[in-house]
Chain A
Amino acid sequence: MQNNIAVKLQDITKTFGKQVVANKDVTLDIRKGEILSLLGENGSGKTTLMNMLAGIYFPDSGHIFMDTDGEGLKEVSICSPKDAYALGIGMIHQHFKLVDVFTATENVALGLDKSIAFNKKQIAQDIKAICDKYGFKVEADKKVYNMSVSEKQTLEIVKALYRGANILILDEPTAVLTPQETDMLFDVMRNMKADGKSIIIITHKLNEVLEISDRVSILRKGEYVGTVDTADATVSSLTEMMVGQKVTLEIDRKEPKDIKERLVVKNLTCVNKYGVKALDNVSFTAYGGEILGIAGISGSGQKELLEAIAGLQDTVENSSIEYIAPEANTPSQLIGKTALQIKNMGVALSFVPEDRLGMGLVGTMGMSDNMMLRSYRKGFIFTERKGPKSLAQKVKDDLEVVTPSITTPVRKLSGGNVQKVLVGREIAAEPTVLMTAYAVRGLDVNTSYTIYGLLNEQKEKGVAVIYVGEDLDVLLALSDRIMVLCDGKLNGIVDARTTTKEEIGLLMTHLREEENDNG
């Protein structure tokens, strides 16, 4: 049993400052040739724990043992990523660490010891050998900025393997992949496992955990809860361990009733700064009282679509976005108006952008000041602060935002809490149109379902909800209709109650023939 273990973490504790305990006395075994899922809610310390294996952080206390030579466990000390590589540990971070202007080969060569002469050909050959062995597809001379997200991720894995990694850590690898790409990744992971490598995958997605891993270790609030064999686990048993109590994982989707035309989009076309059409002739209607899901590989025009509606994106001639207020019958044109003009027209548009701190919130300000962002124009010369303050308190209480105080800068909060602040503010504005981009990205199960609940509540109030999402299971369960974007074009609108994941996956990746368009 003992020599079956590749890495042993013992009593690892890591704190940030005095208050934040990221990991507390975590003890964990990683076996040779297994896929271990590390599961936990936001802020449960999964990434921190793995960063200590990868040499990014150093534990405050505790021990790491490794079997480096097949002769049993020895204590090691990992002070830097370089040490980690020397011990055969490679981590693929959520945000890729690649140089955009370099080719695949150059990126792999980067950071190698100087003693190894830079022999591109040799490295390219080695990369090819690794690819053939495990079933990767990497074009050695392709520049990183030309690569898709999936290609970049593959390159990161190859880079780690090239450096001799025997233990691979993947931090939420599937968050940015399409279902097809995820399947490809899982195939490769199984090949690596068959070769005797240990793989640790950090993820939120329970169905993936069940599909790929051999064992699941669960962390809750920085503490180790337990490890179960995947064969014995179910979605609900894992959730219970993660959250610490039973939660209902059901999205209560009501039939939409008395839906009304709210936004009529016609021939919407946007050109990005490189002169490429980011959105190409998109036409659809969003109704009050329904949730319109938008699916697509990231970068298919979702961002431009929402920003065009919000008045933040220049559009090409002939584009038309008409807004029909709940009580009025006359549509008003939104194209050519700035965000402020749209607001002044009385259009109650709420928008949860993808980039929370870069667009939706001011990171250096507290919750209270962030609540004013959309309403600070009230009052004469000086800002009115009482309203925002009580709103901040209300959002904090209603959505259970974890923050030391409503004046703590929001960039110090965890991702889930930041998102709650943003969603809370946008819903509090009592919108008639609510647009959300990746509203639950990076959020744990519990918070995600809170947000789904809020969106459904808005729908029942007659709000036109537009939900841009990446998790197809959720899109299928939450939306009434799903609109699929592919390469900036509208590739079909399907009924969420009757369609399948496969159909949407296909629509996301393969542009249909022109004649079948406008489905």
Chain B
Amino acid sequence: MANVAVHKREPLVRIAKRDSMPLWQSILIRVLSIVLALVVCGVIIYMLIKVNPLEVYKSMVEGAFGAFKEDYKFFNRRTWITIRDTMMLLCIAVGLAPAFKMRFWNIGAEGQILVGGIATAACMIYLKNLPPVLLFICMIGASLLAGALWSLLPAIFKAKWNTNETLFTLMMNYVAIQLTSFFVALWENPFGSNTVGIINPTGKEGWFPPVFGLDYLMNVIVVMTITVGMFIYLKYSKQGYEISVVGDSENTARYAGINVKKVIIRTMLISGAICGLSGFVAVSGASHTISVNTAGGKGFTAIIVAWLAKFNTFTMILISLLLVFLDKGAIEIASKYDLNDYVASMITGIILFFILGSEFFVNYRMIFRSKEKEVQ
């Protein structure tokens, strides 16, 4: 043992798991991470365009909540757009929650949104003469059903043959995109435009009605109802309990007498149905049209929301708002300072990186080599 590697010192930094941390401390760490992210972004922005970062951040806020003029009102059009998009993202994330809690990685929200949107648009086009209440029941029912059906296939395959749901749901997205192209061609209006155009622009049949004169309050009501409902379902219902057990260990579930296949299929149907319903919210409550961009990557962004919120539907509200705010703000600075979209993505990326990184410091602590010991 001549060539023994004898280390004289302990390592400089060691990493140890924390057992728990007071709530305020973990919130503080997360807030600090955002502040730090903003500082880093600020430095980069200054290096690129030599603009005061504070100005840039101000325009980000303005991008999301409207320009700060003298007669500034918080609930202006921009704020409402931000709220509308937040609700959309939240709705999808809430839809993903039950599947993810069961460790069923539903990557197919995009597709489920699209088919839900197609179903809604179809109702708006073909059933516009129905009384409004009936029309809405049809639209809701059709979008729920469409989303559920779209998730049924991967769910059955998973339950029966244990296929990989990630690939399966992902590929269903591409089928849904093609299907949407087909319907866009079918419903093309005006002819040759290759878009569906605004559906029912005059009578506004099947549009979300304004509540108290506010265009998007209906979106808030619908999505918040689902959010609260899902929270209660997951936390207090027997089916929610089954989902948690199956997600932790299928063997334990079998041991407890839970029909695992049934739970997988049922939960996935619920997940798909709510994602389908977000298609309804997107078409009937926001764009009033359908295109292959109706989902627009929100089905994937919602995965980040669901994970960051650790599947807690109430936390999802905050995370959705943050992501939409970043998105709006980034677009605003990109246009205001004549930068391209990549800068926007870059800023969003940096901030997300810091938020995800903060989880490390919440769960682990670093131990530095202490000085006193070396003196010994």
Q: Residues of A with Cβ closer than 8 Å to B?
A: 16-20, 58, 60-61, 68-69, 74-79, 82-83, 86-88, 164, 166, 310, 312, 338-340, 343, 351, 353, 355, 357-365, 369, 372-374, 376-377, 379, 381-383, 412
Contact = CB atoms under 8 A, between A and B. Distances in A.
Contact of A83 (B3, B7, B16, B242): B7
B255 A77 contact: no
Contacts of A382: 236-238
Interface string B214-253: 0000000000000000000000111001101100110110
A376 B238 contact: yes
B251 A364 contact: no
B2 interface: yes
A146 B16 CA distance: 37
B19 A364 contact: no
Nearest to A353: B255
Contact of B11 (A18, A58, A76, A340): A58
A365 B238 contact: no
Nearest to A82: B5
Interface of B: 1-11, 14, 16-20, 236-238, 241-242, 244-245, 248-249, 251-252, 254-259, 367, 373
Given A83-B7, A376-B238, A376-B241, A17 B259 contact: no
A304 to B, nearest CB: 14
A69 B11 contact: no
Contact of B238 (A16, A79, A379): A379
B123 to A, nearest CB: 30
B256 A373 contact: yes
Contacts of A310: 255
Contacts of A75: 8
B4 to A, nearest CB: 5
A77 B4 contact: no
A358 B254 CA distance: 11
A86 B5 contact: yes
B243 to A, nearest CB: 11
B7 A76 contact: yes
Contacts of A358: 249, 251-252
A304 B241 CA distance: 27
A86 B4 contact: yes
B249 A338 contact: no
B4 A69 contact: yes
A16 B16 contact: yes
Contacts of A19: 19
Contacts of A359: 249, 251-252, 255
Given A68-B1, A68-B4, A383-B238, A360 B252 contact: yes
Nearest to B373: A61
Contacts of B18: 17
B254 A339 contact: yes
A351 B6 contact: no
Contacts of A20: 19
A72 to B, nearest CB: 14
Given A68-B4, A82-B5, A365-B248, 12 more contacts: A58-B10, A77-B8, A77-B10, A87-B5, A338-B257, A339-B256, A340-B257, A359-B252, A360-B252, A360-B255, A369-B241, A374-B256
B360 to A, nearest CB: 16
B237 A373 contact: no
Given A69-B2, A86-B4, A383-B238, A362 B14 contact: no
A285 B243 CA distance: 37
Nearest to B256: A373
Nearest to A409: B248
Contacts of A58: 10-11, 14
Nearest to A374: B256
User: Considering residues A88, A358, A374, which has the most beta carbons from chain B within 10 angstroms of its beta carbon?
Assistant: A358
